[in-house]
Chain A
């Protein structure tokens, strides 16, 4: 019979139970909800990444994927599970850290940072990525970085800025790109960052220099370590810039190569 031959070629559904790729589930083993959420998060990132076809991808699909990602991120932030957010980003881009979180996604910088501080900076930059416009983020990172760090060090969960300013598909994609860039390590050239600064020097960021997080950080109980960081950062500019420069160069290596892609997507939207 015609049909019976075809039946053998039918595709089977892969169910959640069959999914072996739950490496990101380390922190909360055995919780199907969290595992599903991680998997969904990872898949969403991959889907956004893969939208590089010749034919314009469907706007509806992109918007739905972005909204799904946003829901999951909101949930993760509300729970304070930013480490999971971390590893999900890393896993999606194939840069799984060998050890359990919290480990910085970025390659170790020359600065002798404590684990806490470096993680805080990474988290800060991720949040910034999600909230900022792509072009201005290099500049804004300097001002908002450590404020974001304080937010995450807190015990209470701050109101999500993401709810006020929805991260776009664009910025999420950029977040992935930044992760890709960081994975290449600290083979940076100081001249690169200088060139980029020159290129962006004509951008006027005064309109965008809005501090999203200060209303929320006021009520947050700060850990002593982070308070020190904040006071130090404001007083010693060199400390901040040195950190920023190092991180900048780590991240911008591949970003410059991806800038064309970003502009293309911007124009496309």
Chain B
């Protein structure tokens, strides 16, 4: 089967490097052993003849698996969406065992725009992608930049009509005098063409920058949230949306809090949550009233007075919030930790995992270089037993809720050898640096893992490291 990409080959797929690891027999332990599977994107040192290397536009800004995990979508700062599809392995012995993700479709989702009223550019960067459940042969997804949400339909075409009477093979109208016989047109198989077309454009509803979109479990509506407002849309209606949350103060000078993330509950279609820059998560029920400014529940942990600093508020700002698949829990990511909340208990989280506590003493420097404002995402695994989130130096962290063990791995081209189980990394926080440890001062703060995604059912993870997409798989599973 041959794939042809939609709208030209993006830079990201030039110089694609694809390797895989052999999944040998298991180790008997309960912990997952992660192996390198694939990496997509140009290598830094890859400079082509015309002097181009990877660019700012290639930086991946969002990663998302679809509902069955067969498709993996990425959005980048250049407004493009690249969709990878898992190909079934050709033989039982081929690697990786579960099949590879190959480029399925590439299209330009958003273009840069200019707001003439404010004399400001509107970035084309894709902030979020959310897949719609599949209802027919086509795939659908929602993608958004700062101002506009779009519904894209991705369709396959592998046949084309042929044998017309009035047109010849090139489509030119035939001279009627040359037609001597009548035939029935038929469908001729062609190579697979994947096309993406925008079906709906949900525009002009947001004054501030959209940071979240979330599809409702009713599969008919979705929400889009910006810094101060959350709007509810119907998928079919583009010229109207309902405002369900508005925290804009009457006097903008009194603004002290913004919305940072919002998500619908996975099964209760009337419930959604939104997080704020002050470290609170509010759960709202749309049945209570039309405007959900009053929350039903507020999840907030009281501040630890011993850890107070000037940056307490900034590091408490929640950058991502995700419901568990069961809908019973949710995780929130602030600058230094991931917290697990039980929806039944809003007084404090039931679990807290430190992502990179060693940065607490460096907050002033991180404030200076703006790293303290980085928005890290977090992800659940399919069974809600594990949590993953990113860090600096291309490190990402996995937390097992049952064993309470944590793991630090690195997304790096060094680990792309076959049979390569990822070696756990350790950061030395003080004192003597052991071998294989890396000291805090040597961490590269330009290499940040902000976007990660976990396959909905299997132990396959996608990790975006600047302009590269890494795919890792569990060693044991077949």
Contact = CB atoms under 8 A, between A and B. Distances in A.
Given A71-B313, A166-B254, A55 B121 contact: yes
A269 interface: yes
A14 B365 contact: yes
9 tightest CB-CB pairs across the interface, nearest first? A168-B253, A269-B252, A10-B444, A59-B227, A3-B414, A56-B120, A60-B258, A64-B314, A55-B121
B101 to A, nearest CB: 23
B432 interface: no
Interface stretch (A34-42, A111-119, A223-231, A245-253): A34-42
A66 B257 CA distance: 11
A14 B317 CA distance: 23
Contacts of B115: 56
Contacts of A217: none
Interface stretch (B167-175, B179-187, B435-443): B435-443
Contacts of A3: 412-414
Contacts of A171: 253
Contacts of A7: 442
A155 B441 CA distance: 45
A236 interface: no
A118 to B, nearest CB: 29
Contacts of B364: 16, 36, 39-40, 43
B277 A60 contact: yes
Contacts of A13: 362, 365-366, 440-441, 443, 445
B373 A58 contact: yes
A56 B256 contact: no
Nearest to A1: B414
- Size band of the interface chain A makes with B: 35 or more
A73 B172 CA distance: 77
A167 B364 CA distance: 23
A268 interface: yes
B253 A133 contact: yes
Contacts of B446: 11
Interface of A: 1-3, 6-7, 10-16, 36-37, 39-40, 43, 47, 54-56, 58-61, 63-64, 66-68, 71-72, 133, 165-171, 264, 267-269
B44 interface: yes
Contact of B362 (A15, A59, A168): A15
A61 B277 CA distance: 9
B253 A167 contact: yes
A45 to B, nearest CB: 12
Interface string B414-447: 1000000000000000000000000011111110
Contact of B310 (A1, A11, A14, A40): A40
Contact of B367 (A11, A40, A66, A67): A40
A81 to B, nearest CB: 15
Nearest to B146: A56
30 contacts: A2-B43, A10-B443, A10-B444, A12-B441, A12-B442, A13-B362, A13-B441, A15-B362, A15-B365, A36-B310, A36-B364, A37-B310, A39-B364, A43-B367, A54-B121, A55-B120, A56-B115, A56-B122, A59-B227, A60-B227, A60-B317, A63-B258, A63-B277, A64-B314, A64-B373, A68-B314, A133-B253, A166-B254, A168-B254, A269-B252
A85 to B, nearest CB: 15
Nearest to B123: A55
A63 B362 contact: no
B368 interface: yes
A173 to B, nearest CB: 11
Contacts of B260: 60
B45 interface: yes
B335 to A, nearest CB: 11
A64 B372 CA distance: 10
B230 to A, nearest CB: 15
Contact of A58 (B121, B209, B228, B440): B209
A40 B257 CA distance: 20
B118 interface: yes
